[in-house]
Amino acid sequence: MKFPRILRRKEKGGIANFTMRGVKREEEQRRSVFTRRALVLATGQLGLFGFLGYRLHTLQVEQGERYATLAEENRLSARLLSPPRGRVLDRNGQVVAGNRLNWRALLVAEQTSDVGATLETFSRIVPLADHERARVEREMRRRRRFVPVIVREFLAWEEMARIEVNAPDLPGILIDVGTTRIYPEAEHLAHIVGYVAPPAERDMDGDPLLQLPGIRVGRSGIERHHDLVMRGRAGAVQLEVNAVGRIIRELDRREGQPGQDIEISVDTELQKTIRGKIEEGTSIVVMNARNGEVLAMASQPSFDPNVFNAGVSNAQWRQLTANRATPLINKAANGLYAPGSTFKMVVALAGLEARAIGPGERISCPGHFDLGESRFHCWNRGGHGGMDMRSAIKLSCDVYFYELAKRLGINRIAAMGRRFGMGVDLDIELPGARRGLMPTREWREAQGRGWALGDTVVHGIGQGFYQLTPLSLATMTARLATGRAVQPHLTRSIGGRPARGGRPEDWPAMGIADRDMRLVRDAMWAVVNEGGGTAGIAKLPGGLGQMAGKTGTTQVRRVSREQRERGFRVESLPREYRPHALFVGYAPHDNPLYAVSVVVEHGTSGSGAAAPLARDAMVETFNRFRAAPAQRVADVVRGT
């Protein structure tokens, strides 16, 4: 009976033992999993710390210098400095194009997260016009984000104070001081000195200087011709900035190299005096006949170059370009005119050199010249009678030069004209100056038109297809006076170094026989100083010597035979149909110093309109240099 109880006890012990073994196995499994997980985690941690150690080694050891440099660059800001533009001085050292301080607000796009918001805030502090804001946005698209763009120039003190007070609300805005161009003589020298303007897309030639705010490039005149030497070289400034880019202090500064000064040959006071004597449509050139220096070059009307510096508005540009009087055009170097009778000396020299006529040979002038069925009239309807070369120039006989041109042919006349600086490039320092036209038979045939003998006859008196500038007429006169191939020029020195062409010996002899030149000069003297000459009104006052010259009148509208028969008078025409008036001359006759040319558009008569202006210009020139210090007078006399 006890046996079953024992069995039951054994069964209970076995189950307990079995359960204990299961628990032990589970515990061992858990320990094994924990161990594997701990091993994986430790391996991961070891790999992570190894990678971090590797990166630290890379950053601090291998690339430490590079990142130190980048950190330093984040702390430092380097900027280019605009150099002062070189000045333009007249022959007396007077500044005719200079610089003045210009306070301005700049915007650096990379220093603000929202350019539009910055501009909007700025416009509430300092009002911006729509075209100003459009300009800023256009320039920011064109330039790199680190390049400053001018938001507003010529700031007043009150405007600068408002900007500085609101600086925390204007990220990317900074106040800077630069220079701006100023032209003290304004319209008096505008056509010669020219003007500057902000660079356009076509000006970008890789020069980083052109991307600096406030930089200007020459657009016309001396400013454009000598633009590169007047720009100078940029400087640099190194600034310490904080984390938001605000300037803390200036660490280093290297000033740029200022542009070189240009000294021009023009006398400012003489220029102003002559311009005060002329009216719209008139141009005058006064040259040193010995070395080609241009002493005055006046053209009416003119313009104020200061308006172009800040950027001319569309309304201002339309007003200037729509003006029928063309104020932007320098009529002295760009106006094209037929020379009229002022060209007769060239025809005479061509005839003498080709031996087509002798100096004493006489040609009869009945008041007209017949060629086939065509009749060419002399200005003197009653005729001049028998004319030799001297009297033909003195009295400006057209018939004499009709006959001489017929004998010569147009090509010989044109060749002599080019030798005297007409229809060729004169290399004057005025970009865009026109060379004019000295027509030839080949030129006409290239246009698909034939050249008739009647064309040659008309060109003998300076009419026809000629297109010459007052500057080329002054050059012709200087060469007639001195016998040297002087070139007109405006530059006396660059950066203090004398420019070429300041001495008479810099220019070669013309290669024309002295006896021929003396004959023509004597005839020009007779035009002014002998009774019956066409320009007696141009005679100089006592003590200034004697001027030699020649008048000219060129038609702008053909006069018909019917009008001539009715006793037509040009004074009855509207002004725009009246002939142009011209005069060329030099003085003193026995020792030439100065040459002058005058063109008066629609002035009717060379003797009535142009000759008196030439006389006044010559008197002013003598008085101006005679009143100058002795050294300057000596320089002019020597032609230096």
CATH number of the CATH domain containing 169: 3.90.1310.10
446 to each of 336, 417, 442, 449, 451, how far by Cα in Å? Answer: 21, 20, 6, 7, 11
For residue 202, what are its two tokens?
A: 């076509």
DSSP 3-state of 206: coil
Q: How far apart are CA 527 and CA 162, in angstroms?
A: 71
List of residues 6+ apart from 432 with CB closer than 8 A: 220, 334
Q: Could you read off the pLDDT of 249-267 as tens digits, one per residue?
A: 766 677 778 899 999 999 9
Mean of pLDDT values over 505-513: 91
Q: How confident is the model at residue 136 (pLDDT cuts 50, 70, 90)?
A: confident
Q: Is 589 exposed, middle or buried (0-12, 13-18, 19+ CB in 10 A)?
A: buried
Q: Can you give the pLDDT at residue 638?
A: 47
Regarding whether 374 and 468 lie in a shared domain, the answer is: yes
* pLDDT higher than 80, residue 22: no
* pLDDT higher than 90, residue 271: yes
Q: Could you read off the pLDDT of 561-580 as tens digits, one per residue?
A: 555 555 556 666 778 888 99
Identify the CA nearest to 272 among candidates 592, 573, 624: 624
Q: Which residue matches tokens 């010995």? A: 290
Q: What is the DSSP letter of 396?
A: T
Domain final position from 261, 277, 309 = 261
Residue 541 contacts residue 619 (beta carbons within 8 Å): yes
Q: Can you give the pLDDT at residue 634?
A: 47
The residue with greater pLDDT, 135 or 454, is 454
Q: Can you give the pLDDT at residue 108?
A: 87
Q: How far is the first Cα of the chain from the last one, in angstroms, to the nearest whole number?
A: 157
What whole-number percentage of the chain has pLDDT above 90?
A: 54
Q: Is residue 69 part of a domain?
A: no
Q: Is residue 70 part of a domain?
A: no
Q: Is residue 34 part of a domain?
A: yes
Q: Is residue 435 part of a domain?
A: yes
Q: How far apart are CA 521 and CA 528, in angstroms?
A: 11
Regarding whether 84 and 53 lie in a shared domain, the answer is: no
Looking at residue 17, its amino acid is N
Regarding whether 543 and 488 lie in a shared domain, the answer is: yes
The residue with greater pLDDT, 112 or 79, is 112
User: Can you give the CATH number for the domain in which 413 is found?
Assistant: 3.40.710.10
Asked which of 299-313, 347-361, 480-494 is least confident by mean pLDDT, the reply is 299-313
Regarding whether 88 and 56 lie in a shared domain, the answer is: no
Q: Can you give the pLDDT at residue 471?
A: 98
80 to each of 76, 140, 154, 620, how far by Cα in Å? Answer: 14, 18, 20, 48
Regarding whether 470 and 598 lie in a shared domain, the answer is: yes
DSSP 3-state of 528: helix
Residue 265 contacts residue 294 (beta carbons within 8 Å): yes
Identify the CA nearest to 586 among candidates 637, 533, 547: 547
Domain final position from 212, 242, 261 = 261
Q: Is residue 353 part of a domain?
A: yes
Q: Could you read off the pLDDT of 468-479 as tens digits, one per residue?
A: 999 999 999 999
Range of the domain at 245: 76-261
Q: Can you give the pLDDT at residue 69?
A: 54
How many structural domains does the chain have? 3
Element (H or E) spanning 599, and its range?
strand 594-600
Q: How far apart are CA 247 and CA 239, in angstroms?
A: 7
Asked which of 142-151, 227-236, 457-466 is least confident by mean pLDDT, the reply is 142-151
Q: Is residue 592 part of a domain?
A: yes
16 to each of 5, 13, 19, 25, how far by Cα in Å? Answer: 17, 5, 5, 14
* pLDDT higher than 70, residue 481: yes
Regarding whether 424 and 334 lie in a shared domain, the answer is: yes
Characterize the bridge pairing of strands 262-264 and 88-89: parallel
Q: Can you give the pLDDT at residue 635?
A: 53
Q: Can you give the pLDDT at residue 250?
A: 65
Q: Is residue 68 part of a domain?
A: no
Angle between helices 157-165 and 115-125 (to 10 degrees): 130
Q: How far apart are CA 321 and CA 444, in angstroms?
A: 32
The residue with greater pLDDT, 426 or 48, is 426
* pLDDT higher than 50, residue 301: yes
Q: Which residue matches tokens 């008048």? A: 551
DSSP 3-state of 105: strand
* pLDDT higher than 80, residue 299: yes
Q: Can you give the pLDDT at residue 603?
A: 92
Q: How far apart are CA 503 and CA 507, in angstroms?
A: 8
Regarding whether 301 and 242 lie in a shared domain, the answer is: no
Domain final position from 19, 38, 62 = 62
Mean of pLDDT values over 208-220: 82
Identify the CA nearest to 619 among candidates 261, 277, 371: 277
Q: Can you give the pLDDT at residue 63?
A: 65
Q: Could you read off the pLDDT of 165-204 as tens digits, one per residue?
A: 888 889 988 888 878 899 999 999 999 999 998 887 777 7
Mean of pLDDT values over 306-315: 78
Backbone angles phi, psi at 277, to 5 degrees: -100, -10
Regarding whether 377 and 238 lie in a shared domain, the answer is: no
Residue 625 contacts residue 320 (beta carbons within 8 Å): no
Q: Is residue 423 part of a domain?
A: yes
Q: How confident is the model at residue 435 (pLDDT cuts 50, 70, 90)?
A: very high
The residue with greater pLDDT, 502 or 493, is 493
Q: Could you read off the pLDDT of 443-452 as tens digits, one per residue?
A: 999 999 999 9
* pLDDT higher than 90, residue 45: no
Regarding whether 324 and 355 lie in a shared domain, the answer is: yes
Q: How confident is the model at residue 246 (pLDDT cuts 50, 70, 90)?
A: low
DSSP 3-state of 101: strand
Strands, DSSP E only, in 108-203? 149-152, 173-182, 196-197
For residue 624, what are its two tokens?
A: 């101006």
For residue 337, what are its two tokens?
A: 């005119």
* pLDDT higher than 90, residue 419: yes
Regarding whether 143 and 20 lie in a shared domain, the answer is: no
What whole-number percentage of the chain has pLDDT above 70?
A: 85
Q: How confident is the model at residue 49 (pLDDT cuts 50, 70, 90)?
A: confident
Tell me the average pLDDT of the chain. 86
Residue 476 contacts residue 420 (beta carbons within 8 Å): yes
Regarding whether 193 and 102 lie in a shared domain, the answer is: yes
Q: What is the phi-psi region of residue 214: left when phi exceeds 0, alpha when psi lies from -120 to 50, beta otherwise?
A: left
Q: Which residue matches tokens 């600096």? A: 212
Mean of pLDDT values over 436-461: 95
Q: How far apart are CA 603 and CA 274, in angstroms?
A: 17
Mean of pLDDT values over 548-564: 76
Q: Can you give the pLDDT at residue 156?
A: 85
Q: How confident is the model at residue 503 (pLDDT cuts 50, 70, 90)?
A: confident
The residue with greater pLDDT, 46 or 446, is 446
Q: Can you give the pLDDT at residue 103?
A: 85
Q: How far apart are CA 306 and CA 97, in angstroms?
A: 10
152 to each of 68, 135, 208, 293, 316, how far by Cα in Å? Answer: 37, 11, 21, 41, 19
Regarding whether 571 and 515 lie in a shared domain, the answer is: yes
